[in-house]
Amino acid sequence: MNNYKNNRMFHFDEISKMAPAEEGDRQRYFIEQVRTIWKQKFEDLAASGEAKERYGEAVFARLMEEGRCGTFHIATFGCQMNARDSEKLAGILDQIGLLEVDSENADFVLYNTCTVRDNANQKVYGRLGYLHTLKRKRPDMIIALCGCMMQEPTVIEKIKKSYSFVDLIFGTHNIFKLAELLERKLTAGKGIVIDIWEGTEQIVEDLPVDRKYPFKSGVNIMFGCNNFCSYCIVPYVRGRERSRKPEDIIDEIKRLVADGVVEVMLLGQNVNSYGKNLETPITFAQLLRQINEIEGLERIRFMTSHPKDLSEELIAAMRDCKKVCSHLHLPLQSGSSRILKEMNRRYTKEDYLALVERIRAAVPDISLTTDIIVGFPGETEEDFEETMDMVRKVRYDSAFTFIYSKRTGTPAAAMEDQVPEDVVKVRFDKLLKEVQAISAEVCGRDVQTVQKVLVESLDDHKDGYVTGRMENNTTVHFPGDASLIGKIVNVYLEESKGFYYMGRPV
């Protein structure tokens, strides 16, 4: 059945009519269709004797051994949401029969893009140039782009004009459709297949996922954002807030636990407003309490929390739920109440400080981390000093610091008074120095105590050692072997090295 070469224009429409209506079944149907096409391609290549040369001895041997029909590579940019989306995309490609490889010299290459700051976009354009050189040597290679950057119309125009060797483009709302879109591409021949949705109410459950770590996993609890912080492009590219049903989330976590997962990271742009739009509303705190009951699950993390929505109920749940890690990522963005207002953050410096106090009173050993933007339009030296003041007052375990990036279409992009680059750079360096100095002091506070450490990998730098993470996410190295990976071990922290500890198991 090598009709991928024939009747290209009609093939997809006909197949599409035959596909089941229910979305999960429909996509599983397309996975099978694409698998058949790709298998045929691979068999043709193997019969012509070219396969070994194309893949190299080692990869070819694996393809044959595992009964696979080609290779794929996914490069993920941006946040944990994208990382989780990439696991879902990898799950679909795995079911199609492709083997994941480290190199971009693969049959199918997918960039899962980010657009939160302009440098993320520039990285993608830069790497597309390199992909073009690979594709010249391997013309049947399929290049696909997805993720937040693709939700911007100007990006699509630019790709059509200057990067027309790209084969497939989709956005953030329809990643579950990867197999269907691939089918369309494989049967349509030349030209870019583009499928961008402006938004969706749809959440498709139960598609395959190929997890990066066997013992920990991200779990989406909601998608999108309704906050419209004035600098941020996320609400435009990820759409309005949609929560998954609690029973679907709990089922997924139970399945993950049965599959060896001990730690979950609940993911959403603003988890504190989870559940508001469900038919039967439920709060994030209630969800946490339910997840805390799941047998076999050891640790629960979540991100990101918006300070304006962080309720007393959630603080109480964090205090009561033993599995919820004592770590909170609480983006500050700026320490100046005036700038916070311009950012549309809907809290003041004082609100934030009071919130931190309440959280610390309830969970005294909590680690706080944050995001800070430097150089928002109109930021004066005084505003910046307010941010420095907050960093000194809160004393974060760590802080991600960003230079403000102008995103077309956001209200802040049209604001006058954009701060000159050289001024921003000086402020940024000053802030980073302060953040790092405080972080080095704060991070060492657990030295000479016993802590629970989830072992994640063998130590990259020291033979006979493993590397793991404490509940508050700090890294610990201690003697051990691969049998400990995925286990939680009691470790005595012998020495603090600033941002990590050296320890010994007890």
**CA-to-CA dists, residue 349 to 56, 173, 332, 386, angstroms:** 58, 35, 9, 9
Q: Which of 209, 234, 310, 372 binds ligand SF4 (CB under 6 A)?
A: 234
- Looking at residue 97, the DSSP 8-state letter turns out to be T
Report the run of H or E that residue 63 belongs to, with start and end. Answer: helix 57-65
The site partner of 398 among ligand SF4, ligand 5AD, none (C-beta below 5 to 8 Å per kind) is none
Stretch of residues binding ligand 5AD (CB under 6 A), selected from 176-184, 273-281, 403-411, 493-501: 403-411
Contact positions with ligand SF4 (CB under 6 A) in 248-277: 269-270
Q: How far is the CB of 393 from ligand 5AD (least distance, A)?
A: 19
The Cα 60–Cα 53 span in angstroms is 9
- If one asks whether residue 74 binds ligand SF4 (CB under 6 A), the answer comes out as no
Stretch of residues binding ligand SF4 (CB under 6 A), selected from 221-229, 431-439, 441-449, 472-480: 221-229
Q: How far is the CB of 143 from ligand SF4 (least distance, A)?
A: 28
Q: Which of 89, 373, 399, 419 binds ligand 5AD (CB under 6 A)?
A: 373
- Which of 132, 162, 131, 159 has its CA nearest to residue 146? 159
Helix (H, G, I), strand (E, B) or coil at 285: helix
* Structure token digits, residue 436: 């790092």
**CA-to-CA dists, residue 386 to 230, 334, 336, 438, angstroms:** 20, 8, 5, 16
Q: Which of 82, 112, 121, 333 binds ligand 5AD (CB under 6 A)?
A: 333
- If one asks whether residue 237 binds ligand 5AD (CB under 6 A), the answer comes out as no
Q: Count the alpha carbons within 13 Å of 16 in the hemisphere toward its beta carbon.
A: 14
Helices and strands (H, E) in the chain, number of each type: 16, 19
Helix (H, G, I), strand (E, B) or coil at 220: strand
Q: Exposed/middle/buried for 118, CB within 10 Å: 0-12, 13-18, 19+?
A: middle
Q: Which of 227, 405, 467, 496 binds ligand 5AD (CB under 6 A)?
A: 405
- If one asks whether residue 225 binds ligand SF4 (CB under 6 A), the answer comes out as yes
- If one asks whether residue 310 binds ligand SF4 (CB under 6 A), the answer comes out as no
Q: Which of 168, 232, 253, 264 binds ligand 5AD (CB under 6 A)?
A: 232
Rounded (10°) angle between helices 80-96 and 23-47:
60
Instruction: Map residues 86-125 to x or -, x wherever contact with ligand 5AD holds by CB under 6 A.
Output: ------------------------------xx--------
Specify the pairing of strand 99-100 against strand 398-403: unpaired
Report, in angstroms and rounded to the nearest whole number, the Rg of the chain calculated over CA atoms: 24
Q: How far is the CB of 371 from ligand 5AD (least distance, A)?
A: 3
- If one asks whether residue 366 binds ligand SF4 (CB under 6 A), the answer comes out as no
Q: How far is the CB of 405 from ligand SF4 (least distance, A)?
A: 12
Nearest residue (CB) to ligand SF4, 80 versus 436: 80
- If one asks whether residue 227 binds ligand SF4 (CB under 6 A), the answer comes out as yes
Handedness of CA 36, 40, 42, 46 (dihedral sign): positive
Count of residues that interact with ligand SF4, criterion CB under 6 A:
10
Nearest residue (CB) to ligand SF4, 179 versus 229: 229
Contact status, residue 271 vs residue 305, Cβ threshold 8 Å: yes
- The residue whose two tokens read 């990066």 is 212
Stretch of residues binding ligand SF4 (CB under 6 A), selected from 22-30, 172-180, 228-236, 319-327: 228-236
Nearest residue (CB) to ligand SF4, 185 versus 306: 306
Stretch of residues binding ligand SF4 (CB under 6 A), selected from 124-132, 162-170, 220-228, 480-488: 220-228
The site partner of 101 among ligand 5AD, ligand SF4, none (C-beta below 5 to 8 Å per kind) is none
Specify the pairing of strand 263-267 against strand 299-303: parallel
Q: Exposed/middle/buried for 248, CB within 10 Å: 0-12, 13-18, 19+?
A: middle
The site partner of 235 among ligand SF4, ligand 5AD, none (C-beta below 5 to 8 Å per kind) is ligand SF4
Contact status, residue 179 vs residue 193, Cβ threshold 8 Å: no
Q: Which of 68, 84, 244, 306 binds ligand SF4 (CB under 6 A)?
A: 306
- If one asks whether residue 384 binds ligand 5AD (CB under 6 A), the answer comes out as no
Stretch of residues binding ligand 5AD (CB under 6 A), selected from 35-43, 254-262, 359-367, 399-407: 399-407
The Cα 193–Cα 495 span in angstroms is 55
Residue ranges in contact with ligand SF4 by CB under 6 A: 225, 227-229, 232, 234-235, 269-270, 306
Residue ranges in contact with ligand 5AD by CB under 6 A: 116-117, 231-232, 331, 333, 371, 373, 402, 404-405, 407
